[in-house]
Amino acid sequence: MNSKSKHINKQIRIALLVLFSGIIYFSSQAQDEYNPYVTSFRAAAVDGKLYLSWKTKAGFTCQDIHIEVSLDSVSGFERRGTYYGICGDTAERYYTYVLDNPIINALNYVKLELGNIGYSNTLNVIVLQAIDDVFVVPHPIETNSVLHFTNPEKATFVLNLYDALGRVILMLETNNQEINIGRYTLPQGFVYYDLYSEANRGYRGKLLIQR
């Protein structure tokens, strides 16, 4: 595992501690980049959404500003939101924007595309969202992916994985609150799971395998 992967995994472990404490809030860290037209670029993740803010120089407000997101700090950015420009407003302007569709349960790299001006600096922030108290980080599934769930009583939980035809492809038991799902060989595409114990009605969901 390289130093970048170790850094990301450390950030995810810290995030999980915060999540299980009941507070789902993470602020951004900036990369070493600079654009003179945009300052005070900030991002915070709250319950699966990204709350962005930034300031532009006077005279820039006629430009559309696009929000781009990637799992990589260098490549793979895709447009996930746009703040449309208001022509005629020549003052310095402060913006806020809520991005409803970041990459869930992963470290997001976020930057602003400023038309012919170029790009803002790139921020990175972990976005977590628990669904029925069960979530997988990172997702889609990688070799280090872990399925997390609440099990304070150390009850015996059974995890079943199914293919698209409903056939059981993996069955596991655990008394812990996490399962290293990435260590198992699983078919490409979506697999479906149920997770239950004698005292718990259980959880159902699907996982995406892309490796």
Considering the domain architecture, whether residues 80 and 119 belong to the same structural domain is answered as yes
Residue 176 lies in domain: 134-209
Count of CB atoms situated within 10 Å of the CB of 6 = 10
Considering the domain architecture, whether residues 196 and 170 belong to the same structural domain is answered as yes
Considering the domain architecture, whether residues 14 and 58 belong to the same structural domain is answered as yes
Structure token pair of residue 154: 């150390």
| Residue that the structure tokens 């915060």 belong to | 18
Q: Which of 78, 104, 127 is the last residue of a domain?
A: 127
| Residue that the structure tokens 């697999």 belong to | 191
Considering the domain architecture, whether residues 121 and 145 belong to the same structural domain is answered as no
Pick the more confident residue, 67 or 48. Answer: 67
Considering the domain architecture, whether residues 138 and 123 belong to the same structural domain is answered as no
Note the pTM of the prediction, 2 decimals.
0.57
Question: Quick check: 114 pLDDT over 50?
Answer: yes
pLDDT more than 90, % of the chain? 37
Domain with residue 107: its CATH number is 2.60.40.10
Considering the domain architecture, whether residues 63 and 157 belong to the same structural domain is answered as no
pLDDT of 34:
67
Domain with residue 191: its CATH number is 2.60.40
Least confident of 10-14, 60-64, 65-69: 10-14
Alpha-carbon torsion angle 72, 119, 46, 181, nearest 10: -10
Considering the domain architecture, whether residues 13 and 111 belong to the same structural domain is answered as yes
Q: Quick one: 2 exposed, middle or buried, by C-beta within 10 A (0-12, 13-18, 19+)? A: exposed
pLDDT digits (tens, 9 = 90+) for 146-193: 998 888 888 999 999 999 888 999 999 999 989 999 999 999 989 999
| Residue that the structure tokens 């596991």 belong to | 172
pLDDT digits (tens, 9 = 90+) for 130-149: 655 788 888 889 888 999 88
Considering the domain architecture, whether residues 113 and 138 belong to the same structural domain is answered as no
Least confident of 18-27, 40-49, 63-72, 182-191: 18-27
H or E stretch at 106: strand 106-113
Considering the domain architecture, whether residues 99 and 161 belong to the same structural domain is answered as no
How many structural domains is the chain composed of?
2
Considering the domain architecture, whether residues 73 and 153 belong to the same structural domain is answered as no
pLDDT of 88:
72
Handedness of CA 6, 104, 65, 56 (dihedral sign): negative
